[in-house]
Amino acid sequence: MAIQANSPQCHSMPQTNCSTCRLNTLCLPISLELQDINKLDEIVQRGRPIQKGDRVYHAGEKFRSVYAVRSGAIKTIANTQDGQEQITGFYLPSEIIGMDGLATNAHSNTAVALETSAVCEIPFSRLEELSAQLPNLQRRFFQLMSKEIANDQQLITLLSKNNADQRIASLLLSISARNHNRGLAAEEFYLPMSRSDIGNYLGLTIETVSRVMGRLHKTGIIELDKKHVKILDMAALRSLAFSSDKH
Amino acid sequence: MAIQANSPQCHSMPQTNCSTCRLNTLCLPISLELQDINKLDEIVQRGRPIQKGDRVYHAGEKFRSVYAVRSGAIKTIANTQDGQEQITGFYLPSEIIGMDGLATNAHSNTAVALETSAVCEIPFSRLEELSAQLPNLQRRFFQLMSKEIANDQQLITLLSKNNADQRIASLLLSISARNHNRGLAAEEFYLPMSRSDIGNYLGLTIETVSRVMGRLHKTGIIELDKKHVKILDMAALRSLAFSSDKH
DNA sequence: CGGGTCATTGAGTCAGCTCAAGGCTCGTGG
DNA sequence: CCACGAGCCTTGAGCTGACTCAATGACCCG
């Protein structure tokens, strides 16, 4: 718990508005003028930190807000008809969650913190009003939803066409790239999720996840110590993820 | 070809505006007042019928419009990094395609007609302007994108957690339900796509699709003649799709 | 130090894959 | 009118990647 509280993402916590947030070149405010950012800022509610395992919202809850991840990491879980759970995404700082609730006015997913995290709550009715006034914000929000669709479709392809090695390699590359975008190292990072979460997300068993990660380690492509990953051979990892032959 | 041209969906062709279109309780105009529907109608462009195999838009093309399927059926295809194709959706009348292009301002998918079809083109810049004026339309479009996300996440779950029988059963039920929504029979319909399309979409080989469909036929759950499907035991199909045990 | 959670490793099984052969349907051309 | 080729689908036989089951290891916390 002490380790979680000291996680490196937490130094963005003292930020109290969007215009000074170091994530504002990635998050919802992109392409907004300073005065428009301030308008957005007025409707954003910053909550207290949430602990590992806490929910941001849960399936069935009335849809009121979307949330920007400010620090930490969040997983979203969809419940299937037969009572199983499917992790539909891992979300890192600057990424937006909660858009699943729009269609039916109730969240279809549950969002759970993977470690101590902070989120900015954005009441959707206010965001809608503001979007009608600020064309750039409307466009930006459409784009965010479209990005979500594109991400989901990439996962669909991964699950439909790729073997275990390719799925794991792709996940590592995705996290690496997103960290890099936020100004962190692309080659070295902590995985905020458990092996079981990875398996659930990628449609694999925990044993297979463990074996594949072990193999990547043995072949010298990554260094691995529990959740600490260091990519030693980025090119090899890429060619593994994107090679068309399954063997 | 003659058969395609006489396909049952085509009698919606003579419609020339949204307010009299029999799909307007399902399509984009939902929840709009009559006068607002007319405003929407002014920006909608109705094109000529497109033939089987024709593209509505293709990957890489600049994003300009979204499209409502008016008749026929459309598949959307994403190209993977390694040159494979992944079908990401089958779209029936009243459903909207093209929203994949918003994030990057270029389409990431290619949309191909599965049979002779007609689409309504909706230029996005005009739709954006109108959305800012009509809160209901803005909300409606957000909802459509959210619905798309929800659909994609259901497919993710299907691919990640369900076996071949469950995947096929779920697809049949989905098409059945969507036909029913449009006032067509839930129990009897033509599959507009090939076995190979089904396999691609569901992450299965064509042989497995064929075997599973044959098995559903033999066990008396469906009647099957090429692409003509009749669901004989809806309850059995549902319990097959949603049972939690894989065996 | 004991109990719980999470991860690793091994051995055997099986669902869905690959490879291969053959059938059905439709359009074209002799 | 029929023969033929091209697509699409079906069916069979055998293989294999990922699963299941099982045991053990590593770590944390009380």
CA–CA gap between residue A61 and residue A185 (Å, rounded) = 37
Non-local CB neighbours of A109 within 8 Å, separated by 6+ positions: A57, A59, A76, A77, A78, A88, A100, B153
CB atoms within 10 A of CB A34: 9
CB contact under 8 A, A102 and B143: yes
Tokens of B151: 């659909």
CB atoms within 10 A of CB A83: 8
| Closest C-alpha among B101, B167, B105 to residue A156 | B167
| Mean pLDDT of all residues in B168-188 | 96
- Look at residue A236 and give its three-state secondary structure: helix
Nearest CA in chain B to A141: B142
| Residues of chain A contacting residue B200, judged by C-beta atoms under 8 Å apart | 160
- Please report the DSSP string for A152-217 in residue order: HHHHHHHHHH--HHHHHHHHHHHHHHHHHHTTS-SSEEE--S-HHHHHHHHT--HHHHHHHHHHHH
What pLDDT is attached to residue A11?
44
pLDDT level of residue A14 (50, 70, 90 thresholds): low
The CA distances from residue B57 to B35, B48, B49, B130, B236, in Å, are 30, 14, 14, 23, 39
Taking the CA of residue B212 and the C1' sugar atom of nucleotide D23, their distance in angstroms comes to: 37
What pLDDT is attached to residue A243?
78
Residue closest to C26, CA→C1'? B1
What pLDDT is attached to residue A138?
86
pLDDT at B88 over 80: yes
- What is the per-residue pLDDT across A220-242, written as a single tens digit (0 to 9) for each? 999 999 899 999 999 999 999 98
Q: Whose C1' is closest to the CA of B210: which nucleotide?
A: D10
Tokens of A210: 């463990």
CA–CA gap between residue A63 and residue A47 (Å, rounded) = 17
What pLDDT is attached to residue B7?
40
Fold annotation for B34-154: Jelly Rolls (2.60.120)
CA–CA gap between residue B17 and residue B70 (Å, rounded) = 11
* Nearest-neighbour CA in chain B from A153: distance (Å): 7
- What is the per-residue pLDDT across B54-69, written as a single tens digit (0 to 9) for each? 999 999 999 999 999 9
Q: The whole model's pTM is what?
A: 0.91
Please say whether the dihedral angle defined by the alpha carbons of residues B67, B72, B78 and B83, taken in this order, is positive or negative.
negative
pLDDT level of residue A12 (50, 70, 90 thresholds): very low
What is the CATH code of the structural domain delimited by A163-241? 1.10.10.10
CA–CA gap between residue B6 and residue A245 (Å, rounded) = 42
* Nearest-neighbour CA in chain B from A7: distance (Å): 30
| Mean pLDDT of all residues in A186-213 | 96
* Nearest-neighbour CA in chain B from A36: distance (Å): 16
Identify the DSSP state of A45.
E
- Strand C: positions under 7 A of a protein C-beta atom: 6-11, 15-20, 27
CB contact under 8 A, B159 and A160: yes
Amino acid sitting at position B205: T
Q: Whose C1' is closest to the CA of B247: which nucleotide?
A: C15
CA–CA gap between residue B183 and residue B187 (Å, rounded) = 12
Residue closest to D26, CA→C1'? A226
Please say whether the dihedral angle defined by the alpha carbons of residues B240, A149, A116 and A45, taken in this order, is positive or negative.
negative
pLDDT at A209 over 70: yes
What pLDDT is attached to residue A48?
76
Q: Which long-range contacts (CB under 8 A, 24 or more apart) does B194-200 make?
A: B197/B75, B197/B87, B197/B90, B197/B114, B198/B168, B198/B171, B200/A160, B200/B85, B200/B86, B200/B87
* Domain assignments of chain A as residue spans, ordered by start: 34-154, 163-241
